[in-house]
Structure 1
Amino acid sequence: MARTAAYDRIADWYEREFLGGPEAGSTAGNPLALGPLLAGLLGGGGGATCLEVGCGTGIHAAGLRELGWAPVGVDLSAGMLRHAHGRLPVVRADAGRLPVRDDSVPAVVTVMAHTDMPDYPAVLREVARVLRPGGVFVHVGVHPCFCGGFADRSDAEAVVVRPGYLDTARTTVSWSDQGLRDKVGAGHLPLAGLLNGFLDAGFTPERFAEHGAPTPVVMAVRARKAG
């Protein structure tokens, strides 16, 4: 997750305006619009623990509980966790060094957070470490092919992919019409780098999904740790 803790500076704006404004949940990249996608990939929990890495303000906790999971959150930003405290148990920690025992949780999710993590392949290895054998991991994130500094989304009906897709340098170019990325920047992994990160961490991908139209904004993966 971003070591600069950029979200500390915007946590109140994120909670009250980005998530709470009149258009909240109506745009495909807004986390509030992604509950059904997360639910469809994760499934029911039967009361088991689900660790959310990069939980932010904890907005998915209620949905996870409705699915039968007991959510626990990890995030680097103290400002975001200030809003999350009333929604789920949380701990402040780097996603690349999770304060969780090996093979200890049955499920992990991350939602619209991987572009805030400077070394996401390392995070995937950490997720694999803490998951129980046979455990499930659901990644819901920015679509690597159609969102980023290389993607001109000024016309939603005709997204133009310009040179730069293979450039993994962190950018401050906004892909969101809500202005979030203008404030915190974004990391980028091309599609092959993202999927190879799952394989290198030892995951077996089970399902893929895309969200947003006419050009997807989100790509999601359900993967499982070997039993």
Structure 2
Amino acid sequence: MTSVAAYDEIADWYENDFLARSRPGDPLGVQRQLSELLGPGDGVCLEVGCGTGVHAAQVRELGWTALGVDLSAGMLEYGKRRLPVARADATRLPVRDGSVPAVIAMMAHTDMPDYPGVLREVGRVLRPGGVFVHVGVHPAFCGGFADRSDPEAVVIRRGYLDGHWTKQSWTTEGVRNRVGATHYPLPVLLRAVLDAGLTLTGFTEGGEPVPTTWALRAIKP
């Protein structure tokens, strides 16, 4: 169940197959949400769980300097082609206290068995006034409890309230059935942001007709 081993094994598939099928366009609203919530800026924008670095170009287009950290050496072999990277556990970031103006987590929180711990690190490394943007699968409509095989009628089964790790998935063409995912109910995610000392300032959803992604913006007071 270790994310580093799992993602090392699927890095080639992720880069060459999965990403190719999810682009072009922005069907889940991930790019839109990043633009709306992060917005233009300058200085370092640190991406935790950067993977293969697919969001780095958009971060730079917004004016930021993109840097990334990830636990998987296999994913970083691709990621280092797109941005400067470091291999690190997101619960122990190799970054000084209060030193960066922006941090993002893009479609990565379900890969992190201690996402509240990651958020505490985000709060530590952000400088006062710094912004944090989380974009992830929708906690209420995506997970092992959700059957999305019919996009017009998503079926929600028992399990939403249970924070758990699972490989159960409605599709065999995704990431969860290969490496598993940790589910965090919405209140758990929101409480973790507050416990990290951050102030929530905005939310948005992406995907239709039933949202697939959910995003938040927070600042460090």
TM-score (norm 2): 0.95
Structure 2 segments unaligned to the other structure (5+ residues) = none
Shift in CA distance, 10/153, structure 1 to aligned 2, threshold 3 Å = same
Structure 2 counterpart of 1:13, one-letter code: W
Whether 1:131 aligns to 2:89 is no
Shift of 1:53: 0.3
Cross-structure match for 1:160: 155
d(CA) in 1 for partners of 2:126, 2:152: 40
Amino acid at match of 2:149: S
Which of these residues, 102, 109, 112, is aligned with residue 107 of structure 2? Answer: 112
User: Equivalents in 2 of 1:65, 1:4: separation in Å?
Assistant: 27
- Matched residue, 1:17: 17
- Alignment RMSD: 1.6
Candidates 199, 210, 223, aligned match of 2:218: 223
Match of 2:6 in 1: 6
Question: Once the 2 structures are TM-superposed, how far is the Cα of residue 174 of structure 1 from its aligned partner?
Answer: 2.1
Letter in 1 for 2:8: D
User: Contact conserved, 1:104 with 1:131, CA < 8 A, in 2?
Assistant: yes
**Counterparts in 2 of 1:205 and 1:225: CA distance versus 1, 3 Å:** same
| Matched residue SS, 2:121 | helix
Aligned residue pairs total 221
User: Normalised by the size of structure 1, how large is the TM-score?
Assistant: 0.93
1:212 maps onto 2:212 in alignment: no
CA offsets 1:170-214 (integer angstroms, 9 cap, x no match): 000125673211101110110100101111111110010000111
Is the contact between residue 2 and residue 117 of structure 1 (CA under 8 Å) also seen in structure 2? no
Aligned equivalents of 1:184 and 1:26: distance in 2?
A: 25
Q: AA paired with 2:11?
A: A
Q: Which residue of structure 1 lines up, in the alignment, with residue 61 of structure 2?
A: 66
Output one character per residue of 1:82-126: Cα deviation in whole Å (capped at 9) or x when no partner: 001111000000011101000000000010000000011110000
